[in-house]
């Protein structure tokens, strides 16, 4: 669609905006139009307008666990990470907008003496992304504390229960429904001692920092193979330090593919495939990527 038409439809959107600025991997071509709505109402209005005019819509959260291809994203890209950021409390129940960063939610709930989301400090994504992926860390998963999520689907907001969302390992029904947009999520937590919970969050954060490379990456690249860990099998296959272009298997943690500077999505995909093929050839283990790929080559 012509840039002038997009500007007319979405006057506050940025046109031809490089998406590498908004992803943890620092990779990605331009969005035809990038919108950061000021709330759920503006988001829904933009989505309805886009669909009325045949403009494709792509939702971007915190930019982790995502690879935006070098050709960029056509139509309207809506970024939630700095848009839908409200958190509300009602006793031990918490409601968080889709754009709230999971580590922020972990800190906020721990400070209020609410237990159950401390693991979220190890997940560098948003509430929306965490529900979409049933994100987990340190032996806990989102499914254990999530009650419901409000989803904009088929022109209306529907409250979907934990069961409706069909959460399993790094998966939800949202994977099969690309037109559905998660707006907010509700959690039930347990009372706890805030000092103890804050200390636990701090401990988890330190573990993550110690085990993470100090380079741009998308986070964990591969899902956990049954009975093992992706980092261990990738290292056992002798792949630490393997490089294609500016993408490298981290020497700190082999499940992180790091961007050494100016890396391309093309090289990231090649390195993902090389790791998968090599691990299978050497160890007979099938690795499955957990990276969401968006856009055009």
Provide the pLDDT for residue 214.
Answer: 87
Strands 292-294 and 66-68: parallel
Active-site annotation holds for 51 = no
Provide the pLDDT for residue 208.
Answer: 82
**What stretches of the chain show up as alpha helix (H) in DSSP?**
3-9, 40-52, 102-111, 127-133, 194-211, 230-236, 265-283
Catalytic residue among 17, 141, 248, 290: 290
Question: Are the C-beta atoms of residues 207 and 121 closer than 8 Å to each other?
Answer: no
Provide the pLDDT for residue 130.
Answer: 96
DSSP 246: T
Q: Which residue has the tokens 């591969």?
A: 222
Check whether 142 has a pLDDT greater than 80.
yes
State mean pLDDT over 76-95: 95
Strands 30-35 and 73-79: parallel
Residue 199 — very low, low, confident or very high, per pLDDT cuts 50/70/90?
Answer: very high
pLDDT digits (tens, 9 = 90+) for 274-291: 999 999 999 999 999 999
Active-site annotation holds for 212 = no
Provide the pLDDT for residue 1.
Answer: 65
Check whether 210 has a pLDDT greater than 80.
no
By CB neighbour count within 10 A (0-12 exposed, 13-18 middle, 19+ buried), where does 194 fall? middle
Residue 124 — very low, low, confident or very high, per pLDDT cuts 50/70/90?
Answer: confident
Provide the pLDDT for residue 122.
Answer: 87
State mean pLDDT over 211-225: 91
Active-site annotation holds for 277 = no
Provide the pLDDT for residue 4.
Answer: 80
Pick the CATH number of 3-79 from 3.30.70.260, 3.30.43.10, 3.40.1440.60, 1.10.10.10: 3.30.43.10
Residue 29 — very low, low, confident or very high, per pLDDT cuts 50/70/90?
Answer: very high
Give the percent of the chain with pLDDT over 90: 91
Fold exhibited by the domain 230-294 = 3.90.78
State mean pLDDT over 20-26: 96
Q: What is the CA radius of gyration of the chain?
A: 19
Phi, psi angles (nearest 5°) of residue 65 = 55, 30
Domain boundaries, the chain: 3-79, 87-211, 230-294
Going through 138-269 in order, the beta strands assigned E by DSSP cover: 140-141, 146-153, 156-161, 181-188, 190-191, 243-244, 247-249, 257-259
Q: Render the burial of 13-43: b for 16+ CB within 10 Å, e for the rest.
A: bbeebebbebbbbbbbbbbbbbbbbeebebb
Catalytic residue among 170, 200, 224, 276: 170
Provide the pLDDT for residue 224.
Answer: 94
87-211: CATH architecture? 2-Layer Sandwich (3.30)
Catalytic residue among 83, 212, 220, 289: 220
Check whether 94 has a pLDDT greater than 80.
yes
């Amino acid at each position: 669609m012509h840039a002038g038409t997009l500007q007319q439809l979405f006057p506050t959107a940025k046109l031809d905006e490089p998406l590498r600025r908004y992803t943890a991997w620092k990779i990605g071509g331009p969005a035809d139009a990038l919108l950061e709505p000021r709330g759920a109402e503006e988001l829904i209005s933009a989505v309805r307008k886009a669909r009325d005019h045949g403009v494709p819509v792509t939702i971007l959260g915190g930019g982790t666990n995502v690879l935006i291809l070098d050709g960029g994203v056509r139509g309207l890209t809506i970024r939630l990470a700095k848009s839908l950021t409200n958190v509300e409390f009602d006793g031990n129940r918490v409601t968080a907008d889709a754009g709230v960063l999971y580590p922020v939610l972990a800190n906020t709930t721990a400070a209020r003496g609410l237990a159950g989301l401390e693991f979220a400090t190890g997940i560098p994504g948003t509430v929306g992304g965490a529900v979409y992926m049933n994100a987990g860390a340190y032996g806990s998963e989102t499914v254990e504390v999530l009650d419901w999520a409000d989803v904009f689907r088929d022109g209306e907001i529907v409250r979907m229960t934990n069961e409706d969302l069909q959460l399993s390992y790094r998966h939800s029904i949202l994977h099969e429904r690309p037109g559905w947009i998660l707006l907010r999520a509700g959690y039930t937590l347990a009372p706890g001692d805030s000092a103890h919970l804050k200390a636990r969050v701090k401990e988890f954060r330190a573990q993550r920092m110690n085990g993470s490379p100090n380079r741009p990456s998308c986070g964990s690249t591969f899902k956990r193979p049954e009975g093992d860990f992706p980092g261990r099998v990738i290292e056992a296959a002798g792949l630490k330090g393997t490089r294609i272009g500016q993408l490298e298997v981290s020497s700190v943690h082999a499940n992180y593919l790091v961007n050494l500077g100016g890396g391309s999505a093309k090289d990231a995909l090649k390195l993902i495939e090389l790791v998968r093929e090599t691990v299978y050839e050497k160890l007979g283990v099938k690795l499955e990527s957990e990276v969401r790929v968006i856009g055009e080559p």
